[in-house]
Structure 1
């Protein structure tokens, strides 16, 4: 029995067109790839029911869900059951004979990564796929989370690119089809921003909005994040479960530090360039292999600038369940702090533009990391405050004004015992007067003058005097 055709389907016109083109010129072998929750199964179901496909294959369309299959033997048995074959110890040859003996057919293997992912089964699965594609009149369509296609199959060219998030327009249409258009467009767009236009997240949040309204859902998201749409035990109805399945896949397990890298990327809204990734000297073994594993499982992606990024739903999941550990957090923040120091040294010189570009491309990253590093019990609090001062100075020197983090320094200032740091904080606060109102500046000046009596720092005193 075939699954139903999706009633709501937007934003995959180009992918659908490319798949149908392949069916028009050959008996194709196509892999639909992408992150969990990106709509791979929905696209496969649309293909399965398209008039062009039904005209070619009629009743010989076979859809096999592989998410409960653990071995090649089980996969073959599953296919055999759909074909109506009698169970036996190994149905490989009966399945191949049956498919060879029927008219042109389409076999869809959905969520094939479940059985292909474990390294110990991969060779058997790929060998079986190679036998399937030897049946010249049988088309093969698979869906797999990630960005890798199984070997031993000559996949149709051009390859179908891994599915990306929907466009804003397609996301909005999907949302309105589920939750109607009785909501303000501004509120709808606020909800959609939480999804990063990931189809599964859109679907789940839209159903929630349909019953609770946008304002309630937005308020609940602040407290519950992805848990808000993670009830149930089905990957298609539980965002956390979908992400967890990718995170625990054998491709990730092969490089144990991959989750550490992902947890760090999850708090970096600007993503990371390869230069930053390598020069930050993160204490992670097989760093480039970890990056590759995250890309292969589609837990990360590269944007148009080549920066490694994470979709918002995955960011929120990681921040809740796998926040970055200090041993990876601090080296990266230290690297950014060193960039700021280099800028301070070379400010106004011929070397400055390159440094400005590197810091600017990580400006959101640095701010986000520093916000995380301002806890009073944070062992690196002193270093982090110096970094805030350096970032504020950079922001002012590059014409962007002061940063909001300076307000947080004011709150921390009374707790500091480091007199030089207190002096540096007050100096930077006073130098920010053009961009923020400073209550009691005279009092701060007097405090600074008293502090300067206890240590000798001519550079800081000069900056204060300016």
Structure 2
């Protein structure tokens, strides 16, 4: 069969065309003819005389009437069909085509409806002829039943439109057009269900059905003659490549309203206007590649270059073999030349005229994935056919393909990669379908969860309308169930779009690619190629081949960076699909991903002062979203299911290590709270390694609560951590108990507890750390804090100096502890207002930046800004405070951010910017009120409220403005 491509005569069904590009202005005499083809009419529009002298209608005049009569034939034939209800379906189709043809304000869309109805009627009856009910697949029976329902809905919608006043048809054209768009989309889906993409020949079908009826009913002779005349007329050809004498069932997909693609459409148009364009519109399914390509081809500037009959759409999706593809190509290009080789016919016909032709090869991935064949004529593949088309100078090519690449050693492709639309455009798509969602919360989050994929946004918007759900509720349903949250018809549409790639032969034949897809589907933010090789994909035998396969099918998106390894990620909608299918959620893959995540975190778990610390932070930054999602999905129940009960210590240790990373970058309680709720029962833990990780988790959680000024919660966590460490009892555990006790002392100072309590805690910690050098230094640090707190800054300086001397003996230098020492020194100089204040502040900033701790850098900048304010350097203060505010937002430090804003308000006021000062104080006041009440917070709130009162007075008096406590 493959050899037919190069030598044998093609099958009879090589008549037909696809002339979907319609002229903008169509006169009333041509509108009926154009129901199936805009190029159907010969130039002579006059009636023709028969030999008997009677007047007969020309083919162009009765083309549409013949369609009606053809359906009459089919209706009579339905009595013999094995499927119940087929006659009723045909009757509704005839009613639609004959009753609602006068919606002139929407003429173009009504013609599109009639075309599709005619197509469906022919395909349905032709496909059922000569079959018994037992021969018909259950799916086809369901499709026919659904078709009847769809036609009834369409009948109701068009009836509503035609019932409108004529003026309403004109003035509310957009509303009616939207309704017809919905009707047309129903028929587009029906076409796909009936495999219309296989380019069935209308005349062939009509003749076959007609001949069957000839032996049953004798009363249709007149109609039979007309069908035969139509068939014969279609076979005529004036030249080898002329689109004016052909009829086809395929129609160009009618464009929906497009949002957010204007720029890329203009880009395609611009490139099409260049010499010999070879354009590839690439990307994942659901991005709107076909719509973009068609919209570009319909642009008036393209019409000026390519005649209507020289623009072709070739639907490749039905090409199940190279032979089928060549026949589709020949039919779509309206090639009537018929020799021994259809491919040669195509090339010869295209070369026979120098006029420019524009060919859109839609869904080319179907062809490119077909295997190469060898016949007596040589090798043949989809790429070879493409190369031969591209070799013709006056043939312009546009292809759409579910792929990220289109490599060729012959064609220099100009690739345009489609990704998700912008957020505002995604909102427009959603609210155009569901206007009530415009002001509802959760819409932006839902669109983000869909990756701003136009098709997914469209389907979810329709679900919102059908289910009367707010975007926020729809988001939660999507997160829980993915596409299962949709109605069956919408779910099938989404799955069908994704399965073109996921169920493609090229992926099914590559188990390494399937496993890589499974792994990447569990990494929501993607990963770098380097991390893939070293961690996530290191056990995949042929990783490069697997990446290439996913790239070929556009199941992975690859983003290149100038100075970094490329990033690979799977689109959110594809991830959701994978999560619902067991093949991509095997126990082995889930266990591998969790183990790889744990080992990655622990391999990058260094501490401030370590020479790898900053590099490790950068590596964790890349994977932080993936790590958090994987850990939040880990529960004790899941560990049992994955047979990882022996790895609980590993998981807990990795979670705690990632908790420390979060504390040093952006504080979040979510993960460690999840650890105690879902992973480990703190009360039942008994094994020493597990207990140790539980204590570490409590200590880390206590530090987090301390950092975000939740001091009561910090006390509870630190008390539990201290008790568990003391219970473990080893010297190392007792040092950690001392650390917990010292931080507990700091919390008590912030809560303004009695000094004796604080002093007692520091004394207890001194006993717990024993002879540990770092532990001793930390005790001296806290004593320095304590003396500064009780108003003895000189003693505080002394203790801080002694602590630093001990820390300087440690190698590597402990960065966080050194920063804390310099912090105490800076605050003591600030309290004393000495000349060393500025120098100490600058040293503190430099040391914090060396250690690479954002929260500590923010604290150092605040100290430096306070010194600038004291010295009257307000511009320097504002510049420093701006830098500090960014870091406070980044790390999630609400109290420090509020203080920074209050300091900014004072500096702006001293610079004469009253408006800026009021704004800064207003925000600071609001943030202070939101915080847990402490002495420090209350003092700053009082200052902010008073400063706002002064600034808001009718006459501003600068002398009344009080300097904040900058030390």
- With the shorter chain as reference, the TM-score category is 0.7 to 0.9
Aligned to 2:600: 336
Distance 1:294 1:375, change over 3 A: farther
Q: Is the 8 A contact 1:28 1:140 kept in 2?
A: yes
**Which whole-Å CA distance do the structure 2 matches of 1:107 and 1:177 have between them?**
32
| TM-align CA RMSD | 3.0
Q: Tell me, what secondary structure is at the counterpart of 1:433?
A: helix
| Structure-1 residue corresponding to 2:574 | 314
Tell me, yes or no, if the aligned pair for 2:649 and 2:693 is still in contact at 8 Å.
no
Is 1:172 the counterpart of 2:427? The answer is yes
Say if 1:400 and 1:428 are closer, same or farther in 2 by CA, change over 3 A: same
> Displacement of 1:262 after TM fit?
2.2
In 2 relative to 1, CA 279–50 (structure 1 residues): closer, same or farther, beyond 3 Å?
same
**Aligned equivalent of 2:733:** 460
Change (3 A) 1:5 1:152: farther
Q: In the alignment, is the contact (CA less than 8 A) between 1:31 and 1:144 conserved in 2?
A: yes
What is the aligned counterpart of 2:303 among 42, 46, 54?
54
Count of matched residue pairs: 455
Give, in angstroms, the shift of residue 14 of structure 1: 3.0
Residue 323 (structure 1) aligns with: 585
Bigger radius of gyration among the two: 2
Alignment of 1:146-161 (within 5 A): 146-149=403-406, 151=408, 153-155=410-412, 159-161=414-416
Question: Is the Cα contact below 8 Å between 2:361 and 2:398 reproduced in 1?
Answer: yes
Task: Say whether the 8 Å CA contact 2:513–2:547 is kept in structure 1.
Answer: yes
What is the match of residue 145 of structure 2? none
**2:704 paired with 1:435:** yes
Asked if 1:382 is matched to 2:665, the reply is no
Q: Is the 8 A contact 1:255 1:290 kept in 2?
A: yes
Task: Confirm or deny that 1:77 pairs with 2:333.
Answer: no
1:39 correspondence with 2:297: no
Distance verdict in 2 for CA 1:113–1:277, change over 3 Å: same
- Contact kept in structure 2, 1:29 and 1:141, CA below 8 Å: yes
Instruction: Map 1:370-449 to 2 at 5 A.
Output: 370-378=631-639, 379=644, 380-396=647-663, 398-411=664-677, 412-413=680-681, 414-436=683-705, 437=713, 444=720, 448=724
> Does structure 2 retain, via aligned residues, the 8 Å contact 1:30–1:142?
yes
Query: Which of 93, 108, 112 pairs up with 2:344?
Result: 93
Report the alpha carbon displacement of residue 399 of structure 1 after superposing the two structures with TM.
Answer: 4.7
Contact persistence 1:374–1:384 (CA under 8 A) = no
Looking at structure 1, the residues matched to 365 and 542 of structure 2 have their Cα atoms a distance apart, in angstroms, of 23
Q: What is the SS of the residue equivalent to 1:257? A: helix
Deviations 1:334-376 (A, max 9, x none): 43233243x14xx323331111211222222222222223233
Matches of 1:248 and 1:284, distance apart in 2 = 20
Deviation at 1:132, TM superposition (A): 1.7
Distance 2:721 2:422 in 1: 53
Higher helix share: 2
Matching residue of 1:359: 620
Task: Note closer, same or farther for the CA distance 1:258–1:403 as it changes in structure 2 (3 Å cut).
Answer: farther
2:531 to 262, 276, 279: 276
**SS state of the match for residue 361, structure 1?**
helix
* TM norm structure 2: 0.44
Q: Is the 8 A contact 2:335 2:349 kept in 1?
A: no
Paired position in structure 2 for 1:114 = 366
Shift of 1:217: 2.8
Cα distance in structure 1, aligned partners of 2:443 and 2:468: 10
Structure 1 residues 390 and 150: alpha-carbon distance in aligned structure 2, compared to 1, 3 A threshold: closer
Question: How do residues 219-368 of structure 1 correspond to structure 2 at under 5 angstroms?
Answer: 219-229=476-486, 231-232=488-489, 238-253=493-508, 255-280=510-535, 282-303=538-559, 305=561, 306-321=566-581, 322-323=584-585, 325-326=589-590, 328-341=592-605, 343-344=606-607, 347-368=608-629
Q: Determine the C-alpha separation between the residues in 1 that align with 2:737 and 2:426.
A: 52
Work out whether residues 104 and 138 of structure 1, in 8 Å CA contact, stay in contact via their aligned partners in 2: yes
**TM-score normalised over the length of structure 1:** 0.87
Contact kept in structure 1, 2:437 and 2:443, CA below 8 Å: no
Whole-angstrom CA distance in 1 between matches of 2:628 and 2:272: 50
Q: Secondary structure at the match of 1:260?
A: helix
Contact 2:601 2:620 survives alignment (8 Å): no
Change in Cα spacing, 1:110 to 1:240, as seen in structure 2 (3 Å) is same
Confirm or deny: 8 A CA contact 2:725 2:734 kept in the other structure: no
Check conservation: 1:30, 1:141, Cα contact below 8 A. yes
SS in 2 for 1:460: helix
Q: Displacement of 1:174 after TM fit? A: 2.2
Choose which of 25, 31, 39 in structure 1 pairs with 2:274: 25
Contact 1:10/1:174 (<8 A) preserved: yes
Could you tell me whether the CA contact under 8 Å between 1:112 and 1:142 is conserved in 2? yes
Give per-residue Cα distances to partners, 1:75-107, cap 9 Å, x unaligned.
111122231648887411222233333543222
CA pair 362-376 structure 1, distance change in 2 beyond 3 A: same
What's the CA shift for 1:183?
3.0
CA distance in 2, matches of 1:87, 1:403: 74
Q: 1:326: how far off?
A: 3.8
464 and 366 in structure 1: CA distance in 2 versus 1, 3 angstrom threshold: farther
Counterparts of 1:203 and 1:383, CA distance in 2 = 43
Establish whether residue 204 from structure 1 lines up as the match of residue 459 from structure 2: yes
Residue equivalent to 2:356: 104
- For 2:325 and 2:700, the matched residues in 1 are separated by 68
Question: In the aligned structure 1, how far is the partner of 2:447 from the partner of 2:339?
Answer: 49
For CA contacts below 8 A with separation 6 or more, give which structure has more relative contact order: 1
Aligned twin of 2:388: 131
